[in-house]
Amino acid sequence: MTLIVHHLENSRSQRILWMLEELGLPYEIKRYERDKVTMLAPPELRAVHPLGKSPVLEDTESAGGRVIIETGAICEYLVEKADGKLGAPAHRDSALLYRQFLHYAEGSMMPPLLLLLVLGRIPFFGKRAIKRVQPMAAVHLDFVESELAKRPWLAGEELTAADIMMSFPLEAARGRAGLDGSRPATIAWLNKIHARPAYQTALKKGGPYAYA
């Protein structure tokens, strides 16, 4: 076994398990549970990487071993390892869409969703602040809906790593940002990824996941 995924429950790391299943690459999972009070990652993850975050990917077969953090960087590493599978499409415009959504997932879409999560745990003042943040999230949801209404996948006609990167923010948005049937193209896309055999296998291997 050359690839080890340090996988935290209900986290971004579920995407890496799904991607590995789509690519057909062998891997091992080391599971971690969140602190039941703080919901933060356990301190054991700091033994793997100083930031103590998940996902972390170890490639034990590379020279000297590699430890890689950041979901987008891990996805790009795996695309390269799989000889370009799930990578940028050949068409230039589709390749640009691929790069856009690969970075947009964490760079633009996740921040307001994370803010909604934090504010939802603050009584009274948090609820008032949510009313200001919710419209920010809605702008992103409307943008994604408009894009998915044009084509079956975010970068074109085929599933790519960009779709895998976007899965977590859109799954989270369904639970905390009002994503529902009023955005039918996005809901159809979520249903489509959840039905994929590789996604289902990743769920079984990864353990409980609140967003599927």
Share of the chain above pLDDT 90, in %: 82
Whether the per-residue pLDDT at 142 is higher than 80: the answer is yes
Q: Is 3 within 8 Å of 36 (Cβ atoms)?
A: no
pLDDT in tens, 154-197: 999 999 999 999 999 999 999 889 999 999 999 999 999 999 99
| Structural domain harbouring 35 | 3-85+198-206
Mean pLDDT of 122-136: 83
147 & 170 share domain: yes
**Predicted pLDDT of residue 126:** 76
122 & 183 share domain: yes
Nearest to 56 by CA among 107, 3, 101, 102: 3
101 & 46 share domain: no
Q: Considering the chain, what is the average pLDDT of its residues? A: 94
Q: Is 30 within 8 Å of 78 (Cβ atoms)?
A: no
pLDDT in tens, 74-112: 999 999 999 999 999 999 999 999 999 999 999 999 999
Q: Per DSSP, what are the bridge partners of residue 153?
A: 156
66 & 139 share domain: no
1 pLDDT band, cuts 50/70/90, is low
Nearest to 17 by CA among 156, 189, 160, 205: 205
| Residue 88 CB coordination number (10 Å) | 21
Specify the number of domains making up the chain.
Answer: 2
pLDDT in tens, 6-51: 999 999 999 999 999 999 999 999 999 998 888 889 999 999 999 9
70 & 134 share domain: no
44 & 77 share domain: yes
Q: What is the CATH number of the domain that holds 38?
A: 3.40.30.10
38 & 67 share domain: yes
